[in-house]
Copies of this chain bind each other. A is one copy, B any other.
Amino acid sequence: MIKVGIIGITGYTGQELMKILIGHPDVKITYLFSRLDKPKKIGEIFPKFNGVLDLECSNTIDIVEIKRLCEIVFLALPHTVSMQIAPRLISQNIKVVDLSADYRFKNSAIYENCYKIAHSDKDNIKNAVYGLSEINKKAIEDARLIANPGCYPTPSILACAPLLKNNFIDIDSIIIDAKSGVSGAGKKKLADFMFCEVNENFKAYKINCHQHMPEINDQLSEIAAKKVSVNFVPHLIPINRGILTTIYVKLGKCLLAQDLIKTYRDFYADSFFIRIREEGEFPELKDVINTNFCDIGICVDLDKKIAIIICVIDNLLKGASGQAVQNLNIMCGLDERAGLVW
């Protein structure tokens, strides 16, 4: 059994990590941390874990103790907090999967511009592997620090990668119209996320200025081996979880939906968690909610040579904690599906 710790358990991704790992056949949770007045049984903090996880949550970060208890640690912390803790774990040879944005950018200047803060651990940036499991599997196998991808970037990049790798599209033409459930925003107590403000409402927000847009551009540029810059418009759906992206791209040549479907299936032939639909079929959120799958449907407007790609994930699983566990599985030489089906 691999011994695992989670630092930051009160947010949605922390809770989801616990839920997955309790059912994981090859893993044992040995350490939990949260900012508490005093240590508490996890069942006292979250009654739903009563009876299924009998562990005390610590309120101190003692690296020696963590070293004794854990081989690998998940950081489910706010951006800017992770980079204060990750270097201390790494220096002790503890593997780290960081769910924040802190190690996602090779160029710290982009990070600093995007999150409006100085990066305090530039040394470890070079050690970090961007943990989009299907795209970077080889590098993840040997990684000691995973920068787990953002929720919006996950389906956006997975849906565009086969097109860019095959040089099929005008790279200036990518429009990503994304829609997310509310848990994507985390547990921040903002007026914008109060029940009566969200319920029976729908809105676009941070149009072309969301912090995930530079992350998408950065990764797509890497994949295309040239500078990619997308239009990205996120919207808030009044539901708890799930992201659906509707992506519009201009094809460089005449391609049928069938051609693209074959291309995607070849590209993701070894990727258990990516499922490409038949022509004329499109995934909806309920097909992937509470799973680690990413489902993709594709159609083409032949007249205008526009391809439309629908891509759905559960933002808390494939878009966060599920992918984090998939990365743990890959790093630890386990079946990547372990603990995730389902």
Listed in ascending order, the chain A residues whose CB lies under 8 Å from chain B are 12, 19, 22-23, 47-48, 50-52, 172, 175, 177, 179, 181-183, 187, 189-191, 193-205, 207-208, 229, 231, 233, 235, 237-242, 244, 246, 248, 272, 275, 277, 281-291, 293, 295, 299, 301, 303-304, 306, 308, 310, 341-342
Tally of this chain's copies: 4
Q: Are B187 and A189 in contact (CB under 8 A)?
A: no
Task: Please report the C-alpha to C-alpha distance between residue A217 and residue B195 in the assembled complex, in whole angstroms.
Answer: 30
CB distance from A210 to the nearest CB of B (A): 13
**13 pairs from A and B in contact (CB 8 Å cutoff):** A47-B275, A47-B277, A51-B272, A51-B293, A175-B306, A183-B196, A189-B191, A199-B238, A200-B200, A202-B242, A204-B246, A207-B308, A235-B244
CB distance from A297 to the nearest CB of B (A): 8
CB distance from A39 to the nearest CB of B (A): 18
Q: Are A207 and B293 in contact (CB under 8 A)?
A: no
Residue from B194, B235, B290 within 8 A of A194 (CB atoms):
B194
Task: Please report the C-alpha to C-alpha distance between residue A301 and residue B172 in the assembled complex, in whole angstroms.
Answer: 12
Task: Please report the C-alpha to C-alpha distance between residue A181 and residue B201 in the assembled complex, in whole angstroms.
Answer: 10
Other than the given A52-B341, A201-B289, 13 more pairs (CB < 8 A) read A175-B175, A182-B199, A183-B196, A189-B190, A189-B194, A193-B196, A195-B198, A195-B199, A200-B286, A201-B285, A204-B282, A238-B238, A290-B290
Task: Please report the C-alpha to C-alpha distance between residue A166 and residue B272 in the assembled complex, in whole angstroms.
Answer: 50
When C-beta atoms are compared, the residue in chain B nearest to A51 turns out to be: B275
Q: Are A285 and B52 in contact (CB under 8 A)?
A: no
CB distance from A218 to the nearest CB of B (A): 17
Inside 8 A of A175's CB, which chain B residues have their CB? 175, 248, 306
Task: Please report the C-alpha to C-alpha distance between residue A289 and residue B201 in the assembled complex, in whole angstroms.
Answer: 9
Q: Are B196 and A287 in contact (CB under 8 A)?
A: no
Inside 8 A of A308's CB, which chain B residues have their CB? 207-208, 231, 233
CB distance from A138 to the nearest CB of B (A): 23
Q: Are B240 and A172 in contact (CB under 8 A)?
A: no
Task: Please report the C-alpha to C-alpha distance between residue A238 and residue B201 in the assembled complex, in whole angstroms.
Answer: 10
Q: Are B301 and A231 in contact (CB under 8 A)?
A: yes
Q: Are A208 and B299 in contact (CB under 8 A)?
A: yes
Task: Please report the C-alpha to C-alpha distance between residue A24 and residue B342 in the assembled complex, in whole angstroms.
Answer: 10
When C-beta atoms are compared, the residue in chain B nearest to A44 turns out to be: B278
Interface centre among A48, A199, A202 (most CB of B within 10 A): A202
CB distance from A271 to the nearest CB of B (A): 11
Q: Are A342 and B239 in contact (CB under 8 A)?
A: no
Interface centre among A182, A207, A248 (most CB of B within 10 A): A207
When C-beta atoms are compared, the residue in chain B nearest to A342 turns out to be: B23
Q: Are A202 and B52 in contact (CB under 8 A)?
A: no
